[in-house]
Amino acid sequence: MEAAIRLEGLTKYYGRDRGVVGLDLEVLPGEVFGYLGPNGAGKTTTIRLLLDLIRPSSGRALVLGADPRTGGPELRRQVGYLAGDPALYRKMTGRQLLTYLGHLRGLDGLGPAEMLAERLELDLSRPIGDLSRGNRQKVAVVQAFMHSPQLLVLDEPTSGLDPLMQREFYRLVAEAKEQGRTVFLSSHVLSEVERIADRVGIVREGRLVVVEGLEALKAKALRRLEIHFAGPVPREEFAALPGVQDVVVEDGLLTCTAVGSIDRLVKAAARYEVTNVVSHEADLEELFLRYYEGAGDAA
């Protein structure tokens, strides 16, 4: 199947400033792809390249099989876009803006926007300039979804939304996925991506550090373990085990960080009298930081 998004060595420099460098990525149709990275990593740059708002310095992007530059309006009709810092016409009401955008996209005016606004509890009759930050964000969300695009490209979509509205937004994403649409969303809120993404790419200083399925990512997860023993245990024996780090032994209490499988660790511990084992669940946040640090060491 043709990739919904394909990046081939995609590179963007702003003059001499780094935007993104050598991105290679394939996002499959029907997939929800989480694009993670800290501030200034290059998420917005990548997304604006996909929409042909800026042009690559080298490499290329293919969106729904077409070059954004040559695909033009016909291509963008099939894409829904939510900007990282959406600017809307402040003097228009929500209804006016959505009617306008609807017409441009070939809808007969509001189309499904009315229903979407209702789900997000958005008042369409007020001028956008009078709306709160979160409510303006809802207008931006509605306009991205209103024409049922094949591909949704969303730059930090939940910023400004309260938890209840975030949940409604996750439902919108889940529904889009059920209908076979592709969703590419950026975030630095890791729990968000954990919740809805099938795969995750982590970008750092303009480079893709890792692309993994969420399950695989969790399998590689760091786990913090506490093992309580009846008596003292030799630290070296545990510290020597592969995939076991940060081993500290105090009296009968061993704490450590384990990567991936904890089989060897458990078997090693079993040679002594174990009174209790406490495991802290894998956290994407920690994982993220680890990749982050790892790439930093390499650089």
Partner 1 sequence: MLRSVFGAAVWSRRRSLAWWVGGSFVYLLFLGSAFPTIRDNAGDFEEMLESYPEALRAMFNMVEGVSLSTGPGFLHMELFSLVLPLLLIILAVGFGARAVAGEEEEGTLDLLLAGPISRRRWLAEQFGAMAAVTFLIGLANFVGMLLAGAAFDLGLDSGKLAAASLGVVLIALVFGSLALAVGAVTGKRGLAMGVASAAALAAYLVFSLAEVVTWLGTVQKASPWYYYAASAPLLRGMEWVHAGVLAAIALALPVAGGVILDRRDLAV
- Residue numbers at the binding site for partner 1 (CB under 8 A): 14, 44, 48, 51, 53-55, 72-74, 76-77, 79, 81, 83, 85-89, 91-92, 96, 99-101, 103-106, 143
How many whole angstroms separate alpha carbon 105 and alpha carbon 48?
19
53 is a contact residue toward ligand ATP (CB under 6 A) = no
For tokens 């059920």, name the residue: 178
Q: How far is the CB of 48 from ligand ATP (least distance, A)?
A: 8
Q: Which does 143 bind (CB under 5 to 8 A by kind): ligand ATP, partner 1, Mg ion, none?
A: partner 1
Torsion of CA 242, 246, 247, 250, to 10 degrees: -170
Which residues are bridge partners to 18 per DSSP? 13
* Helix or strand holding residue 112 (H, E): none
Q: Binders of ligand ATP: how many residues, by CB under 6 A?
A: 13
45 is a contact residue toward ligand ATP (CB under 6 A) = yes
Q: Which does 223 bind (CB under 5 to 8 A by kind): partner 1, Mg ion, ligand ATP, none?
A: none
How many whole angstroms separate alpha carbon 42 and alpha carbon 221?
25
Q: Which does 35 bind (CB under 5 to 8 A by kind): Mg ion, partner 1, ligand ATP, none?
A: none
Q: Which does 86 bind (CB under 5 to 8 A by kind): partner 1, Mg ion, ligand ATP, none?
A: partner 1
**From 9, 14, 245, 285, residue interacting with ligand ATP (rule: CB under 6 A):** 14
With contacts defined by CB under 6 A, name the span among 40-48, 97-105, 167-175, 262-270 that binds ligand ATP.
40-48
Show contacts with Mg ion in window 274-293 (CB under 5 A). Answer: none
Whether 148 and 78 have beta carbons less than 8 Å apart is answered as: no
Two structure tokens written together for 36: 């993670």
Show contacts with ligand ATP in window 182-201 (CB under 6 A). Answer: 188
Closest CA to 105 of 53, 50, 148: 148
How many whole angstroms separate alpha carbon 298 and alpha carbon 210?
14
84 is a contact residue toward ligand ATP (CB under 6 A) = yes
Complex with ligand ATP: residue 189 or 268, whichever CB lies closer: 189
36 is a contact residue toward ligand ATP (CB under 6 A) = no
What order of strands is seen across the sheet that includes strand 253-259? 244-250, 253-259, 222-229, 274-280
Distances (CA, A) of 145 to 41, 79, 112, 162, 169: 26, 9, 9, 19, 10
- DSSP designation for 85: S
- Binding residues for ligand ATP, per CB under 6 A? 14, 17, 19, 37, 39-45, 84, 188
